[in-house]
Structure 1
Amino acid sequence: MARFKVGIQLRPQHCTMDQLLQAWRSADEIGADTIWTWDHFYPLSGEADGPHYECWTLLGAAAAITRNAHIGALVSCNSYRNPELLADMARTIDEISGGRAILGIGAGWFERDYTEYGYEFGTAAERLAALKDSLPRIKERLAKLNPAATDLPIMIGGSGEKVTLRLVAEYADMWNAFGPVENFQHKNDVLNEWCEKVGRDPKSIDRTVMIRDEEVDDFEAYLGAGATHIILGGDAPFDLSPLERLVAHARG
Structure 2
Amino acid sequence: MTTANRPIRIGLQLQPQHADYATIRRTASEAEELGVDIVFNWDHFYPLYGAPDGKHFECWTMLGAWAESTSRVEIGALVTCNSYRNPELLADMARTVDHISDGRLILGIGAGWFEKDYTEYGYEFGTAGSRLADLADALPRIESRLAKLNPAPTRKIPVLIGGGGEKKTLRMVAKHADIWHGFGDVEVAGRKLKILDQHCADVGRDPAEIERSVGVQGDPEDSGAKLHELGITMFTVGVGGPDYDLSALRKWIAWRDAQNG
Is this a same-fold pair by TM over 0.5? yes
1:239 is aligned, of 241, 245, 249, to 245
> Is the 8 Å Cα contact of residues 9 and 256 (structure 2) preserved in structure 1?
yes
Consecutive unaligned residues of structure 1, counting only runs of 5 or more, are none
- Matches of residues 84-163 of structure 1 in structure 2 within 5 Å? 84-149=88-153, 150-163=155-168
Displacement after TM superposition at 1:162 (Å): 0.5
Q: Which residue of 1 aligns with 2:254?
A: 248
Partner residue, 2:195: 190
Aligned Cα RMSD in Å? 1.1
SS of residue in 2 equivalent to 1:8: strand
Task: In structure 2, give the amino acid aligned to 1:242.
Answer: A
Aligned residues: 251
Counterpart for residue 221 of structure 2: 217
After TM superposition, the runs of 4+ consecutive aligned structure 1 residues lying more than 2 A away are: 215-218
State the Cα deviation string for residues 152-171 of structure 1 (Å, max 9, x = none): 11110001011000000000
Helix, strand or coil for the counterpart of 1:232? strand
* Partner secondary structure for residue 130 of structure 1: helix
Distance 2:183 2:231 in 1: 12
How big is the shift at 1:215?
Answer: 3.7
Distance (Å, rounded) in 2 between the aligned partners of 1:103 and 1:41 = 19
Alignment equivalent of 1:7, drawn from 1, 8, 11: 11
Deviation digits for residues 161-188 of structure 1 (CA, Å, limit 9, x no counterpart): 1100000000000110002111111111
TM-score normalised by L of structure 1: 0.97
TM-score, structure 2 length as denominator?
A: 0.94
Gap regions ≥5 residues in structure 2: none
Aligned residues: percent identity? 53
1:25 maps to what in 2?
Answer: 29
Question: Which among 220, 228, 231 is matched to residue 233 of structure 2?
Answer: 228
